[in-house]
Amino acid sequence: MIGLLERGVALADLARAMPVALATFDPGSRPTGLVIVDEVNGFCTVGCGPLAPAAPNAQVDRMLRETVTLARRFEAQGWPVLAFLDTHEPGKPEPPYPPHCEIGTGQENLVADLAWLETSPVATLIRKDCINGFVGAIDARGRNSAAEWITANGLGAVVVVGICTDICVMDFVLTLLSARNHGLLGALRDIVVYEPGCATYDLPAEVVERLSLPATATHPQDLAHHMGLYFMASRGALLAGEIA
Ligand SMILES: [Zn+2]
């Protein structure tokens, strides 16, 4: 069992071994878009399904506050916002996760503080049924609505926020880096992860043991968040603690 003190020491050790640094990102005059990953009830609203926080969580609350502020700034400037919404057909599983964000449960909808995006003129909503939003945006004919959103808006930069830092945010960002380097994304240059706008979940080892879950379900929030940031930065994403 890892106590709080040991967790703090583990994070300090990890941060020394795999450092990350947050910068200020200045969009300047470049067209910049905001991508919000999965800030839906099923991942963010207390008690709203098996993958939602069981109790209020400071990191999730900070993410929501920061995202609302940033999204309002983008809307006020007339800059485009893309929101991914994890959404599943009832009964169609997404292993290794338990059923979540099924259509009709309300879990698949934006949290109350972001529901205004549904009618915002700057916002595009994309529902997806897999972790990776770049893959989830591909339709049956092979068109990718996320890539089209980037190229149609002539974006030079995207700022990414959302949940989970080390899962849906990371998979999307890493794939976007490859797609950019492969020349699929027009003028896109900077792929920025805004750290205060990201969060992940906490599933300590002792809970995993108590629930008889596989050991790989263990997911300490602070360490997983840090590792997600590290891998995105090490692959070429820019980490920001502030947007100028
Ligand atoms: Zn899902």
CA angle 71-49-219, nearest 5°? 80
Domains of the chain in start order, with CATH, are 28-90+97-243 (3.40.50.850)
Supply the pTM of this predicted model: 0.96
Q: 53: cis peptide before it, omega within 30°?
A: no
CA distance 106 to 2: 35
Length of the chain: 244
- pLDDT per residue rounded down to tens, the chain (244 residues): 456 667 777 999 999 999 999 999 999 989 999 999 999 999 999 999 999 999 999 999 999 999 999 999 999 999 999 999 999 999 999 998 999 999 999 999 999 999 999 999 999 999 999 999 999 999 999 999 999 999 999 999 999 999 999 999 999 999 999 999 999 999 999 999 999 999 999 999 999 999 999 999 999 999 999 999 999 999 999 999 999 9
168-181 vs 221-234: helix axis angle to the nearest 10?
Answer: 0
Kindly report the backbone phi and psi dihedral angles of residue 152, in degrees, each rounded to the nearest multiple of 5, phi listed first: -65, -35
Cα–ligand 1 centroid distance for 23 (angstroms) = 31
Q: Which residues contact 243 (CB under 8 A, 6 or more apart)?
A: 24, 25, 26, 27, 70, 73, 159, 192, 194
Cα–ligand 1 centroid distance for 27 (angstroms) = 31
Cα–ligand 1 centroid distance for 30 (angstroms) = 33
Cα–ligand 1 centroid distance for 150 (angstroms) = 23
Cα–ligand 1 centroid distance for 169 (angstroms) = 13
Cα–ligand 1 centroid distance for 104 (angstroms) = 14
